Amino acid sequence: MNRRTTSTRRPDHAGRRVRMAAAAALGALCLGISGCSGASIEPAHAIAQADLGMQASATTFANFPKAPRDPAPNAETSGVVLHIKRDVAVHEAPGGAVFAKLPATQLGNPTWVPVIAEHGPWAQVLLPSRPNGATGWVRTDDQVERARSPYVVDVDIDARRLVVREDGSAIGAWVVGVGAPGSPTPRGRTFIMAAIEETVTRFSPIILPLGAHSDTFSTYGGGPGTVALHGWPDPAVFGQASSDGCVRVPDDALRLLTTLPLGTLVHLR
């Protein structure tokens, strides 16, 4: 729990925000069981807040096919993360149309999302919803809190290797299991969305759902097919491509991953 962040306040750490999960929630969450204009910014924002209750929530269960896509899915970021303290409007562009609201919680955990671009009082963030790479613009006003995570989780899918970096330096590396050829792990930038204590099947003590989804399964176990980082009881899976899309990690890797702040960037390459 001693992982360092840079902020006026520290982001909530995943390991400190573990939530209990019922069987139905686990089925819904985890696959591993098997150029911007600044014009008219203020008026658009005011209208968005008035109509916010009518917008769909950007959660792992949502799908926004027309959301802006991540323009640079392999790029690094500044490490800035935003804590969404109450529902905020998600725009197509700074001052543009509203297509969703980002709620203050995700799966019982506080919402922290990584910033991939900024324009004045606006930030483009990765969303936890389908399609993979979905983004949106939110205002960085008193409804959000800025912080910085110095960590990045880098998963080389082909090499089946996970590396955790702090300010660019590797602090841990492991051989991991990834998605099978028929259910590959999706690629692109995503983030640690939540931390959940697994109390049903007990295949992993903690599950770390990401803001990414299976490209094979539109639904899985009654849920949206959210991809996660998690442990596995049989070490034979490490180095193999045999999961339904999740990344299976050794116990010592999981212990480190659960100390990283929510919103920490994850590269699935």
Looking at the annotation, which residues are catalytic? 230, 246
- Cα radius of gyration (the chain): 18
One DSSP character per residue, 82-94 reads EEE-S-EEEESST
β-bridge mates for residue 83, sequence order = 112, 145
Cβ-in-10-Å burial (0-12, 13-18, 19+) of 234 comes to exposed
Best CA proximity match to 257, nearest among 106, 109, 151? 151
Compute, in degrees rounded to 10, the torsion defined by CA atoms 149, 18, 183, 180.
90
Q: Please tell me the distance from the alpha carbon of residue 9 to that of residue 192, in angstroms, as a whole number.
A: 19
Question: In whole angstroms, what is the distance from residue 164 CA to residue 150 CA?
Answer: 10
Helix (H, G, I), strand (E, B) or coil at 255: helix
Helix intervals (H) in the chain:
23-29, 41-50, 251-257
Query: Which single residue is written with the structure tokens 């006026």?
Result: 8
State the Cα–Cα distance between residues 81 and 143, nearest whole angstrom: 14
* ω into 131 cis (within 30 of 0): yes
- C-alpha span between 266 and 245 (Å, rounded): 15
